[in-house]
Structure 1
Amino acid sequence: MTSATTPTPRPADDDWWRSAVVYQVYVRSFADANSDGVGDLQGIRQRLPYLRDLGVDALWLTPFYTSPQVDAGYDVADYRNVDPLFGNLTDFDEMITDAHALGLRIIVDMVPNHTSSAHPWFAAALAAGPGSPERERYLFADGKGEQGELPPNDWESIFGGPAWTRVVDGQWYLHLFDPAQPDLNWRHPEVRAEFEDILRFWLDRGVDGFRIDVAHGMIKAEGLPDVGFNSMTTGQRQSELLGKGRLPYFDQDEVHDIYRAWRPILDSYPGGRMAVAEAWAETPQRLARYIGPDELHQAFSFDFLDATWSADSFRKVIDTALAESTIVGAPTTWVLSNHDRQRHVTRYGDGEVGLRRARAAALLMFALPGCAYVYQGEELGLPEVLDLPDELRQDPAFRRTGESRDGCRVPIPWGGELPPYGFGPGGSELSWLPAPATWRSLSVAAQTGISGSTLELYRTALRIRHEHPALAEVGGITWLETEPGVLAFRRVAGDTELTCVVNISGADVTVSGHGRPVVASADLTERGDGHVLPVDAAAWFERR
């Protein structure tokens, strides 16, 4: 285990989250300390110096709470304890103490839309029967049809199929995800009081913030009205409306009452405790409502993740996000990959093309004002694993839709010649998902100290981001005139300028007049008084 020899306090800046680089740790796939093939809290603790040296400011940990693990911990049975798969509360306390000593903050996942079906509340609801106070904590309803044999409405699970399951006494319960994840009734005061207490429990243990899972989902429209279509009648899944249209079970106005009650709790603790929403809304204006001095601090900008590999697409997304940021007075959060989406190396074309583009996108993201979220392994240039055997896949959505998120969740490679590449200690060969043979050259050990490697590119870019006065400014950007297919913008602090140029034009371009290059995603060559920027590459130039 690694522990700091001279503990230092966390930085006192309450606004740290406005420009932070947050590293998402998918706990079961980050580092395994006990050789069981599953990542754990002690594994994270041992690897904290790596994250400090990478240059991130905070870690976001996916759920490590007591859970049957039907949906990788997003089905919580006990919100105030650690699942034995990942350790115990002492392990958590040791991990967060070491993280703070290294200047790293800890954000934990909060899952308030639903519990596990193994949660004591749900067991009590099933035992108590229709009309009981215990059932009021969840969303139980009578079915339609002569014998109540049809679901109460036409709502669909995000994982595919109906969003309702019938229990033995004939009633149905709502689960917008897996049947093992029953939705809570957030109009019940006991539910609200319980989660306010859960927030305090983890804040008291020193957590610096929360990532709110399904932040748009806790309130359902009164009367549980039909959507009006589903995949059985039209072939279109309701989930296709996410971020595009309104659904009666998402983004209801009352959800903001919850966050207005949470914000004073966060503000009552010192050190800038924060919360970031995983929220989907039909317009940027509705998404912006989750952010503000009386609600949450941030909401993920998934539009940046969804941008296509074109200058026009990126520029439109960036302009929209920065405009909304100005309106709400909060920073934009940029993200390229996460545990629910295909890794961007693969989205951008896979292979060498995808990697070149991913490296350029990283420099684009880190040059923008606001907060950047990095998904574990993207600093290694990991692609999606597309050929996992079906029998090894564990994503519950795979069983219902054939779609799987497991390919971005394969344990990351640390070093060595054979899989799982140092994921566990002492040559352990166990890994809950297998790493491909091609990852040997992508491991942390294989890339450390290697000029031009993706890992060293991230380390360099993050060091400059923290040190450069122009990137420390929280203001906007100035777009520069360029040839078609090239993005260029400038950030300024006093007499110091930093210009980011991204070449998506399909041909090499010559860049001049912006000063000296300080970092580039591909090799630059000098031409006259400028530098040739290759296709699918980005570079930062400095002028003082």
Structure 2
Amino acid sequence: MTDQLVAPPTVEAPPASWWRNAVIYQIYPRSFADSNGDGIGDLPGISSRLPYLKDLGVDAVWLSPFYASPQADAGYDVSDYRTVDPIFGTVADASELITGAHALGLRVIVDLVPNHSSDQHEWFQKAIAEGPGSLFRERYHFRPGKGENGELPPNDWPSIFGGPAWTRVEDGEWYLHLFAPEQPDFNWEHPAVRDEFKTILRFWLDLGVDGFRVDVAHGLVKEEGLPDVGADAEWHLLGVGESPCFDRDGVHEIYRSWRQILDEYPGERIAVAEAWAPNLARVSHYVRDDELHQAFNFSYLGTAWNVHEQRQMIDDSLAAMSAVGAPTTWTLSNHDVVRHTTRLMQTAEGEVAGRKAVAVDEVAGLRRARAASALMLALPGSAYLYQGEELGLPEVLDLPPEVRQDPAFHRATGQDGYRDGCRVPIPWSGDEAPYGFGPEGGGSWLPQPASWAKLSVAAQADVPDSTLELYRKALAVRRTHPALQPTGNLSWVTAPAGILAFDRQVEGAPVFRCTVNMSDQPVSVGRPGELLLASGPVEGGPDEVVLPPDTTVWWSIPS
């Protein structure tokens, strides 16, 4: 558990597969498109917007949970893994969505939540009803309490959402929940749990999904005996230090068994790990060639906007994944962190992966976000986009308390309770909320800002300098430039202070160059070839151009 990132010999990557260079678009179903006017997005709504995603140029979509759930944590508390919650539709709707996506050449990845279930899951309900000694209690972590009368939790583990990670039931026993009390953790040492999830995998694979995003992939196995962490221990869900409940070596046996199932199906079905670990070397263990295919690069998401730290993180990420022959992944936003249009303008002091947000200059924030997105899309590997980032949406900072639904919001500590600000439904068209999110007369489950009228899809489509058109152009270049394919390597280019520059190339093809001004001043750089794309306005003559602060340009250089 003390692995350090080193530079081991590079493992030769297998032949290029779709997922090694894919751009995958995350859809948060309740906030993407509403088909029935109830203010909550749903599967038919997503199906109706698939042509938009095809035109955007992504390769696949990842859907956050839409399974049957009491919605104590926005669907990450699953009561039935083989059906669709009525607020999102039906299994038939899911099948139609998958079929429709495939007809457009899009693949579909669905969220899988194996660390915990809902407390309304049939197993947990039986465990409560049957009392101590129930065989169903063995499928979770039930324990007697400490203290004279068992009045104290079994250990000192805290919940990620704040407070203790244990809740006592009426008969006196306690159960473990690393998240909300409504999310009891499974006991993955029990064979019934392992068998159940193998059948869940097959259910959705048989329906046609192309893969899974594995929620809390690092959390399934707990240290034997569930030892205390100690009052001074420094650990967290987000990979700070070691802990007895995260990143245990036993998880890898589980994922090797899952990989065998995935490999049985045609079309290269994949699994993507949400794995927080103390370092990139530990993360790379999840994507060895007999385990999962990708792991989210949260280290990159939290990297400061400066040349030294960006270059170091890019090097470290590529080295760690190359060591096991896996593609590196890149992402700037998701449903759990502050949108990068806002986050990248803030200092990193006191933050954990950008969960806190403060007001920033939105014009400057969008300029930096556009530059960061163009940089990310130029890197080797697979890129993950979060819905609405292609519109330049900022974090919503002024949601009133009465509309908040993040389960951590009203708890004392934990994940700060600010995740609702990145989950506000996206704007499609019109001058007033809900901006075409659903049928006329409907609303949206979280209020949308008045300023979003100018950021809607309709307001930006076919507008040359809009953020939407920047993404469309970037994704088109990424698909067609030979050096941006999986075989294109990366080499750093000497550049003036404040400039990050690298080349990607393959033999016999034009060289691709990405140049980023990360300074707060305009910088002149040589014009090496054809200008393919610029995240902002640039000026100059035939031999040089001036890059404003927070600007990225792409070049194609004759070989």
TM-score (norm 1): 0.95
TM-fit CA distance, 1:32: 0.2
Name the counterpart of 1:275.
271
The yes-or-no answer on 1:501 pairing with 2:501 is no
TM-fit CA distance, 1:531: 1.5
Letter in 2 for 1:508: P
Find the aligned partners of 1:249 and 1:304 in 2 and give their Cα distance: 24
Q: Which residue of 129, 132, 147 corresponds with 1:130?
A: 132
TM-fit CA distance, 1:527: 3.0
The yes-or-no answer on 1:264 pairing with 2:260 is yes
Is the 1:156–1:238 contact (alpha carbons within 8 Å) kept by the matching residues of 2? no
TM-fit CA distance, 1:474: 2.9
Q: Cα RMSD over matched residues?
A: 1.2
The yes-or-no answer on 1:478 pairing with 2:509 is no
Q: Which residue of 343, 367, 374 corresponds with 1:356?
A: 367
Letter in 2 for 1:384: E
TM-fit CA distance, 1:476: 2.8
| 1:354-397 Cα deviation digits (max 9, x unpaired) | 10000001110110010000000000000000000011000001
Name the counterpart of 1:453.
466
The yes-or-no answer on 1:405 pairing with 2:419 is yes
Letter in 2 for 1:533: L
Q: Which residue of 393, 399, 420 corresponds with 1:388?
A: 399
Structure 1 SS opposite 2:268: coil
Note the 1:94-113 alignment, pairs <5 A: 94-113=96-115
Find the aligned partners of 1:294 and 1:473 in 2 and give their Cα distance: 20
Find the aligned partners of 2:202 and 2:191 in 1 and give their Cα distance: 17
Q: Which residue of 512, 520, 529 corresponds with 2:526?
A: 512
Find the aligned partners of 1:498 and 1:18 in 2 and give their Cα distance: 19
Structure 2 SS opposite 1:396: coil
TM-fit CA distance, 1:429: 3.5
Q: Which residue of 251, 254, 268 corresponds with 1:255?
A: 251
TM-fit CA distance, 1:237: 7.7
Find the aligned partners of 2:317 and 2:16 in 1 and give their Cα distance: 23
Is the 2:235–2:242 contact (alpha carbons within 8 Å) kept by the matching residues of 1? no
Letter in 1 for 2:302: D
Find the aligned partners of 2:185 and 2:465 in 1 and give their Cα distance: 48
Name the counterpart of 1:334.
330
Name the stretch that deviates more: 273-282 or 473-482.
Answer: 473-482
Letter in 2 for 1:319: D
Note the 1:83-162 alignment, pairs <5 A: 83-162=85-164
The yes-or-no answer on 1:415 pairing with 2:426 is no
Structure 2 SS opposite 1:477: strand
Name the counterpart of 1:36.
38
Find the aligned partners of 1:437 and 1:312 in 2 and give their Cα distance: 38
Is the 1:14–1:271 contact (alpha carbons within 8 Å) kept by the matching residues of 2? no
Find the aligned partners of 2:290 and 2:228 in 1 and give their Cα distance: 32
Find the aligned partners of 2:456 and 2:510 in 1 and give their Cα distance: 36
Is the 2:165–2:177 contact (alpha carbons within 8 Å) kept by the matching residues of 1? yes
TM-fit CA distance, 1:495: 3.2
Letter in 1 for 2:187: N
Consecutive unaligned residues of structure 1, counting only runs of 5 or more, are: 1-12
Q: Which residue of 202, 223, 230 corresponds with 2:225?
A: 223
Is the 2:42–2:88 contact (alpha carbons within 8 Å) kept by the matching residues of 1? yes
Q: Which residue of 446, 455, 467 corresponds with 1:442?
A: 455
Consecutive unaligned residues of structure 2, counting only runs of 5 or more, are: 1-14, 346-359
Is the 1:40–1:86 contact (alpha carbons within 8 Å) kept by the matching residues of 2? yes
| 1:67-97 Cα deviation digits (max 9, x unpaired) | 0000000000000000000000111111110
The yes-or-no answer on 1:73 pairing with 2:69 is no
Structure 1 SS opposite 2:109: strand
TM-fit CA distance, 1:304: 1.2
Name the counterpart of 1:522.
536
Find the aligned partners of 1:174 and 1:274 in 2 and give their Cα distance: 30
Identical counterparts, % of pairs: 62
Structure 2 SS opposite 1:399: coil
TM-fit CA distance, 1:16: 0.4
Name the stretch that deviates more: 170-179 or 531-540.
Answer: 531-540
Find the aligned partners of 1:95 and 1:134 in 2 and give their Cα distance: 35
Note the 1:236-255 alignment, pairs <5 A: 238-239=235-236, 242-255=238-251
Find the aligned partners of 1:514 and 1:189 in 2 and give their Cα distance: 60
Find the aligned partners of 1:384 and 1:428 in 2 and give their Cα distance: 25
| 1:426-469 Cα deviation digits (max 9, x unpaired) | x2331000000000000000000101100000000000000111
Structure 2 SS opposite 1:397: coil
Letter in 2 for 1:507: Q
TM-score (norm 2): 0.92
Between the two proteins, the alignment pairs up a number of residues equal to: 525
| 1:309-336 Cα deviation digits (max 9, x unpaired) | 1111111110000001210101001000
Is the 1:322–1:476 contact (alpha carbons within 8 Å) kept by the matching residues of 2? no
| 1:468-510 Cα deviation digits (max 9, x unpaired) | 1110143430100011211000011223111000001221122
Is the 1:422–1:428 contact (alpha carbons within 8 Å) kept by the matching residues of 2? no
Find the aligned partners of 1:123 and 1:495 in 2 and give their Cα distance: 61
Name the stretch that deviates more: 285-294 or 363-372.
Answer: 285-294
